[in-house]
Amino acid sequence: MSDCNVDVSANKIDKKAVRERSNLLMRQGKTKQETFEQLKKEFRHAKIIVKILKCIPSNYRKKKYRWLNHLLLISLLPIFLLLTYYTSWAVSFYILMLYVVARLIARYYLAITAFSFVIMIISTLLFFLEENTNILVILILVFLNLTTLVLSYKLEQKLCPKVMEQKEKYIDKQGLTRVRIIYTFTD
């Protein structure tokens, strides 16, 4: 992609262009480390590239944890159907969550975890406060939201592992000792 809008003079980087380029390189079969090295040459902003790349699951991790992602999707569907039947305020959030999980957009999985926690708390409060609620529906909602909460949190950890940073001393052209950070991806 030669039309990446990177304004090096203002020390800014087009994050969308980096994200698109990294997705393209990873779809071509490159590892995260190879993608990082290539993007570092193209964009020269290692810290920003690391922040973007750590949220993009590698092909290996996508394949390895696809079954957990399908399980998360399966646990979201009944919640969506139950909430659609009983209330309409959370439906748009669940449509968005279903889209995120179906497309495996891992950077939003913590938001799914938080939203599942909120729905689980609301369901639990309804269980204790409302007299005429269906107890079975509330228990199913709590169980499914607990499942969604745990799965989305674990999947975020598994799909986007932490990047290792290592400081290395080197001597530059002027003979001064400098420190540089070397980033290592675990994929």
Condensed to tens digits (0 to 9), the pLDDT of residues 58-89 reads: 888 989 999 999 999 998 888 887 777 766 66
Degrees to nearest 5, angle at CA 89 with 83 and 95? 65
CA distance 30 to 156: 21
- pLDDT tier for residue 158 given thresholds of 50, 70 and 90: very high
Condensed to tens digits (0 to 9), the pLDDT of residues 21-37 reads: 999 999 898 989 999 99
Task: Give the CA distances from residue 103 to residues 1, 9, 95, 130, 185, in Å, rounded to whole numbers and listed in that order.
Answer: 23, 35, 12, 37, 23
Q: Which has the closest alpha carbon to 43: 98, 84, 2?
A: 2
- Continuous H helices in the chain: 15-27, 32-43, 46-53, 59-64, 66-86, 91-103, 109-129, 135-159
CA distance 91 to 94: 5
Asked if pLDDT for residue 11 goes beyond 70, the answer is no
Domain ranges of the chain: 15-56+161-184, 65-159
